[in-house]
Structure 1
C-alpha cells in the first residue's frame, strides 16, 4: 500500500508540474501576427476636366463655353493591405484604359497659333479673336499609389500615374478675329462672319505623360464601393520641340465612378 501511494503521488507531481510548465510555455509564445491581404477590384468611371495651362496666361482673356464630354475609364487594380485590421497602410497599382477630352471656346489676344490655309498651307502668327478647341485622347495608365484605410468604410490613396497615349486628337478652328503673320506686327489676315481657319496639333502630342493622383474610396457593402480620383499632369501634353503654343498644357481631370471588389 505504501509503495502504491508513493507511485501515485510521484505520478501526480510529474503530471501537475509538466502540465503547468506546458501551459506557461504556451502563454509565453508570441501571438501570431495578422498577415496582409490582397484585394482585387474592377472600376468604371467618368473623367471630368480638361487640358489647360496652369495658371491661365494673359493671352486667354475669356472662356465662352466648355463641354467636358463623356470620357469613360475602366480599371483593374490590386490593393495590398499590410494587415486586416480596420486601420491599415498599403499600396495599390493596376492598369486603366481611359479617355481624356473636352471642347472649349475662348477669346484670346496675341495667342500663338498655326492655322491651315485654304490651299492646305500652314500660316503661323499671333491670333486675336475666337478659338474653338477639341481634345479627344485615349491612354493606357498605370497608377502607383500608397493607400491608407481609415476604417471599414473609408480609404484614401496618393501617388503617381504613368500614361501612354494610344489615340490622339488636339484640333479646332479660329473665328471672328485676325491673325498677324509671323509676329504681333506682321501682316493682318482678318476672319469675319462665318469665315474660319482650322488647326491640328495632334501629331505634336507627347506619347508619354506622368503626374500625381489623389483619391478617396467609400465602401458601402462587402463588394461595392464608389470612388473619386483627382489627377494632374506634371509634364506638357506637347512634345518639347513644339513651340507654336508658348505655354505648357497639362491634363487636369476628376475621375468618379463605382467599383467591385472580389
Structure 2
C-alpha cells in the first residue's frame, strides 16, 4: 500500500511538472504571437578605461592585459512591425584591465614606504589594475534587416556593486606637492603603491551599438560596442586630474526562445 502511495505521488508530481512546462510553453508561444522575442546572452568583453583625449603626460603604453571579462544578459524585444522593435534587458557584467605605462609629471597620490600618503607628480613607470562588477539596464531600438540579421543601438544605465582600482609605480621619481616640489627617487628595485578603490563611482551611463546574426534556428552570434558617458571616478575626486571612461567591445552567443 505504501509503495502504491509513493508511486501515485510520483505520478502526480510528474504530471504537475508536465502541465507546468506545457503552460510555460503556451505562455512563450502566446508572447511570440504578440510580437515578443526573448534571448539569453553570454559572452566576453575586451577594452579598458581610457582618458579622452589621450593625455600628454602618458608617453607610452608598455603593456596591456584586457583580463577575462564575462557578461550574461537577458533580453526581451517587442516588435512593432516587421522591421522595428524595442529591446529591454538586464545584464550582469565584469569590466577590467591591467596597463603598464611610462608617464611624465602625472598627478597622483602614493603610499610611500613609511605608510604615509602624499600627493604630487610622478615621472616613470606606472602599473594600473582596474576591475568592476555591475548590474546594467540597457534599452535599445532594433532594426531587423531580414530573418537572420538585426542591428540595434541605445543607452544603458548601470550600478557597480564591486570594484577596485590599484597599482604601483617604480623606476622613476616623485615630486612632492607639485612638479617642482621635493624629489623622491624610486629605482627599479623600489616601488610605491596606490589604491583608489573606495573612490570609484557607483553609477555609470553610456551608449551601445551592435548587431546579431542567426547562425541556427535558436542560436545567434552578436557583437556590441559599449562606451560610457560617465568617468569611473566622480567629479569630487581630484587626486587624478584626468577622467577615465570605460570603452569595451563585447561578443558572444545568444539563445533565442
- What's the TM-score, normalizing by structure 1? 0.84
Task: Report the Cα distance in structure 1 between the residues aligned to 2:156 and 2:189, rounded to whole angstroms.
Answer: 42
2:13 equivalent in structure 1: none
Quote how far apart the aligned CAs of 1:59 are: 0.6
> 1:80 and 2:78 equivalent?
yes
Gaps of 5+ in 1: 1-34
Task: Report the Cα distance in structure 2 between the residues aligned to 1:120 and 1:239, rounded to whole angstroms.
Answer: 25
Quote how far apart the aligned CAs of 1:109 are: 0.4
Task: Report the Cα distance in structure 1 between the residues aligned to 2:114 and 2:87, rounded to whole angstroms.
Answer: 52
1:228 equivalent in structure 2: 223
Task: Report the Cα distance in structure 2 between the residues aligned to 1:220 and 1:36, rounded to whole angstroms.
Answer: 24
Task: Report the Cα distance in structure 2 between the residues aligned to 1:255 and 1:230, rounded to whole angstroms.
Answer: 6
- Match runs of 1:193-212 below 5 Å: 193-212=188-207
- Match runs of 1:93-108 below 5 Å: 93-108=88-103
Contact 1:44 1:74 in 2 (8 A): yes
1:56 equivalent in structure 2: 54
Task: Report the Cα distance in structure 2 between the residues aligned to 1:153 and 1:60, rounded to whole angstroms.
Answer: 44
> 1:162 and 2:160 equivalent?
no
Listed one character per residue, the Cα deviations across residues 43-94 of structure 1 (whole Å, up to 9, x for unaligned) are 00101000110121101010000000100000011111113x4xx1001011
> 1:183 and 2:165 equivalent?
no
Contact 1:204 1:238 in 2 (8 A): yes
2:238 equivalent in structure 1: 243
Task: Report the Cα distance in structure 2 between the residues aligned to 1:36 and 1:68, rounded to whole angstroms.
Answer: 41
**Number of aligned residues:** 225
Moved over 6 A (4+): none
Task: Report the Cα distance in structure 1 between the residues aligned to 2:166 and 2:63, rounded to whole angstroms.
Answer: 16
Task: Report the Cα distance in structure 2 between the residues aligned to 1:137 and 1:178, rounded to whole angstroms.
Answer: 30
Quote how far apart the aligned CAs of 1:210 are: 0.3
Quote how far apart the aligned CAs of 1:36 are: 4.9
Gaps of 5+ in 2: 1-32
Quote how far apart the aligned CAs of 1:212 are: 0.6
Task: Report the Cα distance in structure 1 between the residues aligned to 2:89 and 2:204, rounded to whole angstroms.
Answer: 17
Contact 1:102 1:135 in 2 (8 A): yes
Contact 1:104 1:133 in 2 (8 A): yes
